[in-house]
Amino acid sequence: MKQVIFWGTRGSLPTAPTGQVIREKIIAALAAANGRSFRNRDALEQFVGGLPFTVNNTFGGNSSCVEIVTDGPDHLVCDMGSGARPLGQSKIARYGTPNPQTYHIFISHLHWDHLMGFPFFAPMYIPGNHIVIHGCHQQLEEAVRMQMRAPCFPVDYSQAGARIDFDLMTPDLPHEIDGVRVTPKLQLHTGDSYGYRFDSAEKSVVYSTDSEHKLDDLASFDSFARFFAKADLVIFDAMYSLAEATSVKADWGHSSNVVGVELCQAAAAKRLALFHHEPAHDDAQLFRLFEESIRFEQITRGDRPPLDIVSAYDGLTINL
């Protein structure tokens, strides 16, 4: 495994920035420029590149979709949220049509924010492509078909040009797929969700979203610490603050940055990516949560080696 590319990082509902948000960014950039003039495009690019993330970028708003780039010929993808649309477009741009490709898609669970991008995933309409949808829910195929059926969607599932297969996986059992060992794990979430651990000869990546952690369940904490053990990257549902996740939003099926850090520390994981961002949070709030997570790791580190923390955003590529 070489890279992880985040195509959609928003939780629950795709979230577009408003005109007011863009205005604020323009105002902040102009204030930083403070009347400077720029010789050419390069000079502008350089200036913009030096602005803070919340001014020159955005966490973005597509729902869950993460690509794992392997050394093999196939494509590995976690979830089919609305981020699957730009992912599909990039594949078409890269490989053209026809140019048969195999896509392995791992579905955490059947909630809409994790499936809604599939009808917009262009490779599924192109004959010659092979799509294998892996998951652990009995109703996996039914849920995928259901959202491409009148009156929900104009194009029926039967219009798919690609060959689509479904693979029901068994939790806790490793499966060899495109040279990667993939192990699903049951997680606490309404209707169940599954995390996936991907192990290649050199690297390990864990995708664990829509997963609540009960703080008094120490056995579960230990079992997730084992699931995350020594991972190069853990992609973690950090939708709420710890206080929210334990009080007003208890049983809503999500976790926090604090528990993400604690589990990664217990697991001796190398890097944590905060993921499944709350739609109500703007870039400034998400960036604050990111900085606080870094600080929390520092003050709780003890003798452990440092844990690298990133806050995932649409378009982020992590080299493993």
Partner 1 sequence: MMQLTTREQSGVLVVSVSGRIDHASSEEFTRLLEPLLINCRQGQPALLLDFSGVAYISSAGLRVLMMASRQSKAQQGSFAIAALTPLVQEVFTISRFNLIVPCYTSVDTACKVLGQ
**Residue 16 per-residue DSSP state:** P
Q: Of these, 56, 147, 241, 285, which contacts partner 1 (CB under 8 A)?
A: 241
Task: Return the number of the residue (150 or 248) whose C-beta is nearest partner 1.
Answer: 248
Site for partner 1 in 109-138 (CB under 8 A): none
Name the one range near Zn ion by CB under 5 A: 30-38, 113-121, 215-223, 238-246.
Answer: 113-121
Amino acid at residue number 62: N
**Binding to partner 1 by residue 256, rule CB under 8 A?**
yes
3-state DSSP assignment of residue 206:
strand
**Binding to Zn ion by residue 212, rule CB under 5 A?**
no
Name the one range near Zn ion by CB under 5 A: 14-22, 51-59, 208-216, 311-319.
Answer: 208-216
Q: In terms of C-beta density within 10 A (0-12 exposed, 13-18 middle, 19 or more buried), how is residue 77 classed?
A: buried
Rounded to whole angstroms, how far apart are CA atoms 171 and 194?
Answer: 8
235, interface contact from partner 1, Zn ion, none, CB < 5-8 Å by kind: none
DSSP string computed for 266-311 = HHT-SEEEEESB-TT--HHHHHHHHHHHHHHHHHH-TTSPPPEEEE
Task: Return the number of the residue (182 or 242) whose C-beta is nearest partner 1.
Answer: 242
CB-CB neighbours of 105 under 10 Å: 24
**Binding to Zn ion by residue 277, rule CB under 5 A?**
no
Please report, for residues 103, 157, 172, 187, 315, the alpha-carbon distance to residue 142 in angstroms, rounded to integers and kept in the order given.
Answer: 19, 11, 23, 21, 30
In 3D space, the residue among 234, 209, 201 whose CA is nearest the CA of residue 318 turns out to be 234
Binding track, positions 171-200, relative to Zn ion; x by CB under 5 A: ------------------------------
Task: Return the number of the residue (111 or 270) whose C-beta is nearest Zn ion.
Answer: 111
Site for partner 1 in 201-230 (CB under 8 A): 215-216, 218, 221
**Binding to Zn ion by residue 79, rule CB under 5 A?**
no
Amino acid at residue number 94: R
Q: Of these, 8, 77, 80, 113, which contacts Zn ion (CB under 5 A)?
A: 113
210, interface contact from Zn ion, partner 1, none, CB < 5-8 Å by kind: Zn ion
Residue 138 main-chain phi, psi, to 5 deg: -55, -40
Task: Return the number of the residue (9 or 129) whose C-beta is nearest Zn ion.
Answer: 9
Task: Return the number of the residue (177 or 258) whose C-beta is nearest partner 1.
Answer: 258
Shortest distance, position 179 Cβ to Zn ion, whole Å: 29
**Binding to Zn ion by residue 262, rule CB under 5 A?**
no
Site for Zn ion in 144-173 (CB under 5 A): none
Rounded to whole angstroms, how far apart are CA atoms 255 and 83?
Answer: 21
295, interface contact from Zn ion, partner 1, none, CB < 5-8 Å by kind: partner 1
CB-CB neighbours of 190 under 10 Å: 12
Shortest distance, position 93 Cβ to partner 1, whole Å: 41
Shortest distance, position 287 Cβ to partner 1, whole Å: 14
Rounded to whole angstroms, how far apart are CA atoms 170 and 28?
Answer: 51
CB-CB neighbours of 299 under 10 Å: 7
Q: In the beta sheet, which residues pair with residue 164?
A: 131
314, interface contact from partner 1, Zn ion, none, CB < 5-8 Å by kind: none
Which residues of this chain interact with partner 1, rule CB under 8 A? 215-216, 218, 221, 241-244, 246-247, 256-259, 262, 292-293, 295-296, 299-300
